[in-house]
Amino acid sequence: MLQRLTIAERQLALAISIAVILAGLLMAAAGSGDPMGPHGAIVMFAGAIVFLAVLRVIQDPEPLEDRAENYYDDPTRVGLLISLGWAVIGMGMGVWVAAQLAWPDLRFDAAWSSFGRIRPVHTSGVIFGFGGNALIATSFHVMQRTSRARLAGHVAPWFVLLGFNLFCVIAASGYLMGVTQSKEYAEPEWYADLWLVVVWVIYFVLYIRTLARRNEPHIYVANWYYLAFILVVAVLHIVNNLAVPASFAGAKSYSAFAGVQDAMTQWWYGHNAVAFFLTAGFLGMLYYFLPKRAERPIYSYRLSILSFWGITFFYIWAGSHHLHYTALPQWVQTLGMTFSVMLLVPSWASAGNALMTLNGAWHKVRDDATLRFMMVAAVFYGLSTFEGSFMAVRAVNSLSHYTDWTVGHVHAGAMGWVALITFGSIYAVVPTLWQRETMYSWKLVEWHFWLALAGTVIYVFAMWNSGITQGLMWRTYTESGTLTYSFTDTLVAMHPYYVARAAGGALFLAGAILAAINVYLTIRNVPQKRTEGDYPTPSEATEPAVPVAE
């Protein structure tokens, strides 16, 4: 695989890996006695693996391939496999944390295994590990196909992919050691945050340079979304993580903002991590893989424009709906609520655009579980954005906030929308990437589909029930005007739903494991066959990059 790099590129990779090893050494030396020390060791180890891998091929001859003839898919393949690995880890952690809430002693009595420490391993594992790797990998795939051009650079994509995973590993291992900033979905400490900025800048440059090579006059809509994902996540990440380290030889830092300003910044980040990480990037996936798989053009170009700019503009305002009835000034709460409700328009425009695209291809949805994954993802996207706008209304929020309803809402989006569109895209792209005829087993895909759907529905219904029950119990008064239920009363009422939730999560996890097995068997056992037209062509070529309107 690395033989495909030129000797100059291999030398560059070697130099970068040496720099990483030195940085790790510095961290390990400075941070001995602090969690930063083990993190330095992890960085050194990661650098050493790359160093050895490149060193093995450094003497090999220059590659003979004509780079203009092919797309560069090696990083995409590795990225998808890593993503599936994180899916199993992250969802496995999810089932474990869910089980801890039903059976709290399920943790071997160790400090690292408490709910508070492993819950971020679950959230970061699925959001960044599974989702992030899938986004990076598919973005490499999509930007090349829709631009009809090979990636601009061969070291940069590896740097982005492996660098991002180093961030994920530092994040996850840090949580187990108690390293956290406590900002939800932005828990990693200052050195991990700085590293991610470097990785992200390279990612943006790679994307723009590849677009600059394109043989298509227009930039396809999937790329707008990937671009918005890269750009806005960078802004959010930098501002929300502004902090002053207590010492450059330790992990601990203190956020630059405090109290109400910090809360607003955090939820401006938190909600837009949902918008630009978990929505924009995955809409990019949807806009490419769904029309490709259905072999139908996107229903409406104008709806794409409307929904893209609507999402980009409206979403940013919505964060303050996480802070209804708090010490945040009311004018900000009201702005957040208003924009959250308006957000329904571009969100449903996207979901509708996706579903209308399937007109004329519904028989394929019936027969092809891969396309059905994408269709159901679009439906869940529509449902959870509706639910989100609803829950952002102040009166509804007074009931739903702080309860499991929020957790259910997030998982309707994360499982029903993000994970399903990702699995659909993975099943669609794996045969193309490895040049196979088809997936190893369509029956396994079918099984996965129904396990995932059943798991999601059980999960969401359990959380609706527990959330609304708890919210109502908290506000129930006796006739004499005192609160009817103590907090522990509500906790007892939650127990059956927590068991059901863990069961739903386990079904979903089982589906993800089937996906990993199916992909593995596809690569090992399915005969080779190159997908037609899957190579860079000039824009005058007869085969369009994406299906065009009739």
Partner 1 sequence: MFRKILSPFARMFEFQARTHYRAERHSMALTVGIILAAGVGGFVEIAPLFTIDETVEAAPDMRLYTPLEQAGRDIYIREGCYACHSQMIRTLQDEVDRYGPYSLAVESQYDHPMLWGSKRTGPDLARVGEKFSDEWQVQHLINPRAVVPESVMPQYAFLLENELDVESLPARLHALRRVGVPYTEDQIDNAAIDARGQARPETEAADGVFQRFGDDTNVRFFDGRRDRVTEMDALVAYLQILGGLTDLPSQTRSLEGD
Among 124, 139, 312, 432, binds partner 1 (CB under 8 A): 312
Q: CA 270: distance to chain centroid? A: 13
356 binds partner 1 (CB under 8 A): no
Among 27, 78, 232, 453, binds partner 1 (CB under 8 A): 232
d(C-alpha 202, C-alpha 537), whole Å:
26
Inter-helix orientation angle 156-177/115-124, to 10°: 170
Listed ranges 36-44, 87-95, 129-137, 174-182: which one lies at the site for partner 1 (CB under 8 A): 174-182
217 binds partner 1 (CB under 8 A): yes
Measured from the CB atom, the residue of 20 and 230 that comes closer to partner 1 is: 230
Of residues 459-498, which lie at the interface with partner 1 (CB under 8 A)?
Answer: 474-475, 477, 482-483, 487-488, 491-492
Measured from the CB atom, the residue of 301 and 520 that comes closer to partner 1 is: 301
Q: How many CB atoms lie within 10 A of CB 484?
A: 12
Listed ranges 51-59, 323-331, 422-430, 503-511: which one lies at the site for partner 1 (CB under 8 A): 323-331
Among 313, 362, 450, 520, binds partner 1 (CB under 8 A): 313
406 binds partner 1 (CB under 8 A): yes
Residue 495 annotated as part of some ligand binding site: no
321 binds partner 1 (CB under 8 A): no
| Cβ at position 451, least distance to partner 1 in Å | 27
Q: CA 506: distance to chain centroid? A: 20
Measured from the CB atom, the residue of 289 and 317 that comes closer to partner 1 is: 317
Among 320, 400, 422, 432, binds partner 1 (CB under 8 A): 320
DSSP reduced 3-state for 254: strand
d(C-alpha 241, C-alpha 318), whole Å:
19
Measured from the CB atom, the residue of 97 and 355 that comes closer to partner 1 is: 97
| Cβ at position 474, least distance to partner 1 in Å | 6
Measured from the CB atom, the residue of 491 and 517 that comes closer to partner 1 is: 491
Listed ranges 312-320, 439-447, 527-535, 541-549: which one lies at the site for partner 1 (CB under 8 A): 312-320
Measured from the CB atom, the residue of 46 and 318 that comes closer to partner 1 is: 318
CA angle, corner 453, sides to 450 and 457, nearest 5? 140
d(C-alpha 121, C-alpha 107), whole Å:
15
Among 322, 411, 436, 501, binds partner 1 (CB under 8 A): 322
Residue 218 annotated as part of some ligand binding site: no
| Cβ at position 100, least distance to partner 1 in Å | 8
Among 62, 198, 309, 366, binds partner 1 (CB under 8 A): 309
Of residues 240-279, which lie at the interface with partner 1 (CB under 8 A)?
Answer: 243-247, 250, 252-266, 268, 272, 276
Residue 122 annotated as part of some ligand binding site: yes
DSSP reduced 3-state for 528: strand
With tokens 């295994």, the residue in question is: 113
Query: According to DSSP H, which parts of 241-368 are helical?
Result: 259-272, 281-294, 301-315, 330-342, 344-357, 362-367
Inter-helix orientation angle 369-391/330-342, to 10°: 150
Measured from the CB atom, the residue of 225 and 381 that comes closer to partner 1 is: 225
As to burial, measured by CB atoms within 10 angstroms (0-12 exposed, 13-18 middle, 19+ buried), residue 341 is middle
Residue 411 annotated as part of some ligand binding site: yes
d(C-alpha 257, C-alpha 266), whole Å:
10
DSSP reduced 3-state for 1: coil
With tokens 């390279």, the residue in question is: 202
Q: Which two three-digit tokens encode residue 209? A: 């340079």
194 binds partner 1 (CB under 8 A): no
Of residues 288-307, which lie at the interface with partner 1 (CB under 8 A)?
Answer: 301-302, 305-306
| Cβ at position 121, least distance to partner 1 in Å | 10
| Cβ at position 178, least distance to partner 1 in Å | 4
Partner residues linked to 175 by β-bridges = none
As to burial, measured by CB atoms within 10 angstroms (0-12 exposed, 13-18 middle, 19+ buried), residue 44 is buried
390 binds partner 1 (CB under 8 A): no
| Cβ at position 495, least distance to partner 1 in Å | 9
117 binds partner 1 (CB under 8 A): yes
| Cβ at position 71, least distance to partner 1 in Å | 19
402 binds partner 1 (CB under 8 A): yes
d(C-alpha 456, C-alpha 453), whole Å:
5
Alpha-carbon dihedral of residues 161, 162, 164, 165, nearest 10 degrees? 120
Name the residue among 350, 425, 333, 418 with its Cα closest to residue 386: 350
Measured from the CB atom, the residue of 53 and 407 that comes closer to partner 1 is: 407
Residue 39 annotated as part of some ligand binding site: no
Binding residues with partner 1: total (CB under 8 A): 98
| Cβ at position 266, least distance to partner 1 in Å | 7
**Is the distance from CB of 24 to CB of 48 less than 8 angstroms?**
no
Alpha-carbon dihedral of residues 9, 14, 20, 21, nearest 10 degrees? 170
319 binds partner 1 (CB under 8 A): yes
Listed ranges 16-24, 37-45, 318-326, 425-433: which one lies at the site for partner 1 (CB under 8 A): 318-326
Measured from the CB atom, the residue of 57 and 260 that comes closer to partner 1 is: 260
**Is the distance from CB of 420 to CB of 282 less than 8 angstroms?**
no
d(C-alpha 36, C-alpha 248), whole Å:
10
Residue 322 annotated as part of some ligand binding site: yes
**Is the distance from CB of 136 to CB of 160 less than 8 angstroms?**
yes
DSSP reduced 3-state for 242: coil
Residue numbers belonging to the annotated binding site for Cu cation: 271, 321-322
Query: Which residues are annotated as part of the binding site for heme b?
Result: 122, 409, 411
Residues belonging to the binding site are 122, 271, 321-322, 409, 411
